[in-house]
Amino acid sequence: MSKKILVIDDNEAVRKSFILALEPTGYKVDVAESGEKGIEKVRNTRYDLIYLDLKMPGLDGIETLREIRKIDKDVAVYIITAYHDIFLDKIKNATADGLVFEIFRKPIYSDRIVSITKGVLDGTTEHKYH
């Protein structure tokens, strides 16, 4: 059974970037254009890796993460953001509350998307050195 990835981002170009970049890997990639829709998907499917945008209309990334953790506390979550300063406090709080996640800076190029993903899903430790 192939591993499943969920990309939650309100920007279509970003969602497509992930789909295109991960196409050759054979992983199954789902996308959601909002936090709410993403949570819905997590409720129905078990994902191995979630890419999550921070700044989104409706639920933002951190709020979405809190909901996701209530459903699945093990799934690897990678927050990808261009500009996380305004979320700094929220991120700190989330860390303090024991929510586990990683942060990557946008934009991310194809090869990087692939290497991070493979690192997480196939157990290589590449992501530790970002």
Partner 1 sequence: MKNKGYNRSSTGHESQIEPAPIILIVEDDEGLNQLINKNLQRAGFFTESVLNASDAIARAAEDRDMIMLLDYALADITCREVIETLTERRRMVPFIIMTGRGDEKTAVEMMKLGARDYIVKDQDFIGILPRVVKRVAGELDKEKRLFMAEEALRQSDARYRELFDAMKSGVVVLDSVDDGKDFVFKEFNRGGENIEKVKREDVIGMSVTEIFPGAKEFGIFDVFQRVWRTGKPEFFPAAIYKDRRNPGSWRENYVYKLPSGEIVAVYNDITERKLAEEKVEKAYKDLKETHARLMESQAQLIQSEKLRTAGMMAAGIAHELNNPLMGIINFAQYCLKHTSGDDRRHPILQDIEQETKKCIDIVQGLLTLSHMKQEGEKTYTNGSCATVIDRALKLLAYRIDMEDVTVTFHIEGEIPEIWMETSEIQQVCLNLLSNSLDALKDSGRKKIDIGIRRSVEFVEITIADTGCGISPENMQKIFDPFFTTKPVGQGTGLGLSVSRSIIEEHGGNISCESEPDIETRFKVLLPIKRKGEGI
> What's the CA gap between 34 and 7, in Å, rounded?
10
Binding of partner 1 at residue 92 (CB under 8 A)? no
- CB-nearer residue toward partner 1: 30 or 53: 53
Binding of partner 1 at residue 34 (CB under 8 A)? no
Please identify, among the stretches 14-22, 34-42, 59-67, 120-128, the one whose residues bind partner 1 according to the rule CB under 8 A.
14-22
Binding of partner 1 at residue 123 (CB under 8 A)? no
> What's the CA gap between 39 and 51, in Å, rounded?
12
> What's the CA gap between 27 and 46, in Å, rounded?
13
| Nearest distance, CB of residue 55 and partner 1, angstroms | 7
Binding of partner 1 at residue 115 (CB under 8 A)? no
| Nearest distance, CB of residue 107 and partner 1, angstroms | 3
Of 26, 74, 111, 129, the one binding partner 1 (CB under 8 A) is 111
Which residues neighbour 63 within 8 Å (Cβ) at sequence distance 6 or greater?
A: 35
Residue 17: HSE in the Cβ half-sphere, 13 Å Cα cutoff: 17
- CB-nearer residue toward partner 1: 66 or 90: 90
- Which residue, chain included where needed, has tokens 């409706």? 58
Question: Per the structure block, which two tokens stand in for 54?
Answer: 């921070």
Smallest Cα–Cα separation from 25: which of 129, 119, 104, 126? 119
Q: Given the rule CB under 8 A, which residues bind partner 1?
A: 9, 11-14, 16-18, 20-21, 23-24, 55, 82-83, 85, 106-111, 113
